[in-house]
Amino acid sequence: MNTNCILTKGFIASFKKSLGAFLNLLFIYSFRTLKDKSIIYLILLCFASSTALFAQNPGQASNFSVKAELYSGAFNSISDDWFQGPSGIGNIDESQTAFWRAITNGQTNQIFSARSPYAQYEVVNGYLLYDAVYARDYVSLSGSKDKTTFTGSSGKNGDNPSTSWFVEEGSVTSSVDIVDSYAHLRREGTTINDDLWLITALATTGNTGTHYVDFELYAEPFEEDGSGGFQNSGPNSTGGHTVWTFDGAGNLTSSGDLYLGFAYSGSDVAGVDVRIWVSKNDYKNITPVKFSWGSEFDGAGNDPDYGYASIIIPVGAKFDSANSNNVIGPPWKTFSNSNVSSVYESGAFAEVGINLSVIGIDPSLNSNNPCDAPFSKIFVKSRSSASFNSTLKDFQGPYYFLGSPIVDTTIKVSDPGYFLCGEDTKMLSPLNPYPG
């Protein structure tokens, strides 16, 4: 091939990549600062001719954009996203932006989280929104350690979380140092027959190397125990997790814990891995009606009775994308390589959406009720390598996801007094009020 042609093609590719990054910055600046619709329309028109920003397998998951950006209606699209853009809806509440931006600008190593601005199971624009959560993690900053890391090599994905996972304050490398994570569950419509999508996203403080990350959804109210460990992950008799069960014909009869893992580097997302916690007996002897087992089964030890079994992901059942260019971060900014940043630098952020209905593990199909709450908590973590049972490094949560806090309804034992003439009510107070 002609040398000049090669150089020209290289220049065009480089120019398109730079243009994509520039348009991304200009778009968000126009919407959030100028509110100038003419500029926004110009940006959308320009971007229609550039596809350099979108990598791997981007798409719309129940009208939610899985394209490694955060704001709705961006880039010639009217789709929903994590935060509010010029059209569509944002799925994370932004009401505390000023407070959290002050925390970030002050380089305060503090965790916080935000939930959906909509009620659980609310129908918005024809889509049933189950829940959404954003979380900021502790990070390894200069003079400040990450308070939520796994102790040494204590943690593996197949282990019992309540007996084998331990927490310490430490420092982790930037490629596995989680800074922000996102999760959202929604249906393609409003009924049990409409596809159920789980959308996840994560950013690390570093933007080089390969990032290995996991999202786990727990049926039980999994939590830290306050003594450097975890509790309530599930029955110890089934390996510390809740199992999915089947009838003899291979139909799902109850749902349990769900795992989604993936790796990303640069513009690529790879190794998307969906698993459910089952007994070894079911994995070996049951032929599921709605999905096919994968080749992997991993629990604690060499021959566990319970573990995470992989599931084959059908064509069209997932979207994924990593940011090949800088993209605007959350409204309250973020951390990049220990510095305050308005953007996720190229290679630091990725999104994955999986269609649980097409994969064959829509938990609501067991009860025929689209508003069932199959999960209680979500837990986000990073690991050292592509191996499912490699050493766990950093974590976030667990955070409530679909499940509600368990509230003590005991009333204070105190005499409110007699009803007086014309008095209709008396105030009763909870013995142990739940904060918030």
User: In the block, which residue shows the tokens 């220990």?
Assistant: 338
Residue 126 lies in a domain: yes
Q: Structural domain tally of the chain? A: 1
Query: What's the rounded mean pLDDT across residues 192-218?
Result: 96
Q: What is the pLDDT of residues 118-171, one digit of tens each?
A: 999 999 999 999 999 999 999 988 778 899 999 877 789 999 999 999 999 998
Please give the pLDDT value at position 143: 74
Residue 7 lies in a domain: no
Share of the chain above pLDDT 70, in %: 78
Q: What are the start-end ranges of the H helices in 156-308?
A: 161-164, 280-285
Q: How many angstroms separate the CA atoms of 429 and 432, rounded?
A: 9
Least confident range from 79-93, 200-214, 243-257, 355-369: namely 355-369
Query: What's the rounded mean pLDDT across residues 180-205?
Result: 96
In the numeric block, which tokens belong to residue 102? 């002050």
Residue 431 lies in a domain: no
Higher pLDDT, 155 or 211: 211
Residue 206 lies in a domain: yes
Q: What is the pLDDT of residues 38-56, one digit of tens each?
A: 343 334 334 333 333 334 6
Least confident range from 141-145, 196-200, 368-372: namely 368-372
Residue 180 lies in a domain: yes
Whether pTM > 0.85 for this model: the answer is no
Q: What is the pLDDT of residues 226-283, one digit of tens each?
A: 999 999 999 999 999 999 999 999 999 999 999 999 999 988 999 999 999 999 999 9
Asked if 318 and 176 touch (Cβ cutoff 8 Å), the reply is no
Asked if 324 and 266 touch (Cβ cutoff 8 Å), the reply is yes
Mean pLDDT score of the chain? 84
Q: What is the pLDDT of residues 222-241, one digit of tens each?
A: 999 999 999 999 999 999 99
Residue 310 lies in a domain: yes
Residue of 296, 294, 304 whose CA lies nearest to 240:
304
Kindly tell me if the per-residue pLDDT of 397 is higher than 70: yes
Residue 343 lies in a domain: yes
431 pLDDT band, cuts 50/70/90, is: low
The Cβ of residue 203 has, within 10 Å, a number of other Cβ atoms equal to: 28
Task: Give the containing element (helix H, strand E) for 335.
Answer: strand 334-336
Q: What is the pLDDT of residues 322-336, one digit of tens each?
A: 999 999 999 999 999
DSSP label at residue 31: I
Residue 100 lies in a domain: yes
Q: How many angstroms separate the CA atoms of 141 and 333, rounded?
A: 15
Domain extent, residue 204, equals 59-400
